[in-house]
Amino acid sequence: MSEQISAAGAAPQENKMGVMPVGRLLAGMAVPMMISMLVQALYNVVDSVFVSRISENAFNAVGLAFPLQSLMIAVGAGTAVGINALLSRSLGEKKQEMADRAAGTGIFLSLCSAVAFALIGVFLSRPFFLAQAKSVPEIVEMGTAYTSICLGLSVGLFGQFCFERLLQSTGRTTLSMLTQLAGAVTNIVLDPIFIFGLLGMPAMGVAGAAVATVLGQFVGAALAIFLNLRYNADIHLSFRLIRPDKCAVREIYRVGIPSIVMQSIGSVMTFGMNKILFVFTPTATAVFGAYFKIQSFIFMPIFGLNNGMVPIISYNYGAARPQRVWKTVRLTIFTAVAIMFVGFLAFQTAPATLLSLFEASEEMTAIGVPALRIISISFLLAGFCIIAGSVCQAIGNPIYSMIVSVCRQLVVLLPVAWLLSRTGRLELVWWAFPIAEVASLTLSAIFLRRTVHSANARMKKAREEL
């Protein structure tokens, strides 16, 4: 912490991302983010654990809301990825004015996104649930209430994404971790209070879970704003900078839009899978929702690892230091694959225990045990694919990541799942996930190889011009 505090007085001559040993730097950047992401995963699961105590329909309502929530997160996180890459690269190139404009433009874009999703939450929540679960009115009512609150008051979420990434982009991942911890702890504490009506509060049920989530996001955003103003000396924030700069918008969305599209495709995939599974039984969609909650404990640390890796790569790519770039990539891929292998073992050996977190009925357990074992086979390949995609984004080839994501989820996964569903055997539908991951691995390897060659050529040219 003292490093950040002393930095408030005067910006260092060289950011630590350009001089610290890569292994120690990656650990210092990524571990706090991985911890904070694990806490994020914890409060997402705790949210659903409490809701599952109400009924399976309540749990299903929250699960079916995931595509809209995922779309909102996609826009927030994708925009933040663009801010992160532009700001880190600008600092690496010693372009302070562009770094400041990237920060101000990013804040403006985040506010615009919050307004857009507030309108979606108010006007489209009910039609969205009617399209999925019209035959179960209770799910429609609870889901509409939950989604309206989460999207209608999403300014906290977008603010948290934006200001956390400003801290991450300048290497202050410990401070970023504190903001996420604050938001997560707030959510976890408030969940049972609002859901079940403790401490004199009225029992709000599923709507209470949404209120707790939103309040946690506001707390995280407020702390992130304070920490940026107090300790982040590498960027200069002011109200006059909170406006759209054409150059900054273009650069942010050049990297951010492919990320937004990739994560938005996940929303489409989830919506499509829910439609396919609901035909078999609503319990199958509950299993799918449970899988997404549980797998976050595996994938969230990978995303935290990603968040620590991206500014290191962007900074050193901007500074034309290829050895630091590729050492960072190798270490990150090795770590991601190891984490995914641990997740695979957990899903293979204890699927029933994992499902019991959500008060799984006998039917849900019978469907869920083979589902978790089959889907988790894809974990063995997913770690490499996730990191490869982020490497492409960080050094200027975001279109590759978008192509991989489109092919995996829309070209392969959904069509294969639909075809397998035509057999009438639910257990076969889950095999669409490992099949899609094989396609993703093939494309990711090809695109990463191309990116390495082109990046090396650009960095060599940049060094020759110095």
What is the chain's pLDDT, residue by residue, as a tens digit (466 residues)? Answer: 344 434 444 444 556 766 677 788 888 878 877 887 777 777 678 788 888 888 888 888 888 888 888 889 889 888 888 887 788 778 777 778 878 888 888 899 999 999 999 999 999 999 999 988 777 889 899 999 999 999 999 999 999 989 988 887 777 778 888 888 898 889 989 999 999 999 888 999 999 999 999 999 999 999 999 998 888 877 877 777 788 788 888 888 887 887 788 778 888 898 899 889 988 998 999 899 899 888 888 888 888 888 788 878 878 887 778 888 888 888 999 999 999 999 999 999 999 999 998 888 899 999 999 999 999 999 999 999 999 988 887 776 778 888 888 899 999 999 999 999 999 999 999 999 999 999 999 999 999 888 888 888 887 777 776 6
N-terminal to C-terminal alpha carbon distance within the chain? 35
Rounded to whole angstroms, the Cα distance separating 83 from 79 reads 6
User: Closest by alpha carbon to 225, among 159, 180, 169?
Assistant: 159
For residue 313, how many other CB atoms are within 10 A of its CB? 26
Helix (H) or strand (E) holding 347: helix 322-349
Rounded to whole angstroms, the Cα distance separating 337 from 24 reads 19
Rounded to whole angstroms, the Cα distance separating 308 from 446 reads 24
For residue 30, how many other CB atoms are within 10 A of its CB? 24
For residue 264, how many other CB atoms are within 10 A of its CB? 20
User: Closest by alpha carbon to 292, among 357, 224, 216?
Assistant: 357
Q: Are 455 and 395 spatial neighbours (Cβ–Cβ below 8 Å)?
A: yes
Instruction: Locate the domains of the chain by residue range.
Output: 22-460
DSSP string, 75-122: HHHHHHHHHHHHHHHHHHTT-HHHHHHHHHHHHHHHHHHHHHHHHHHH
Q: Are 324 and 22 spatial neighbours (Cβ–Cβ below 8 Å)?
A: yes
Q: Which residue's entry shows tokens 């949210």?
A: 47
- Burial class of residue 2 in the structure, from the number of CB atoms within 10 Å of its CB (0-12 exposed, 13-18 middle, 19+ buried): exposed
- Amino acid identity for residue 2 in this structure: S
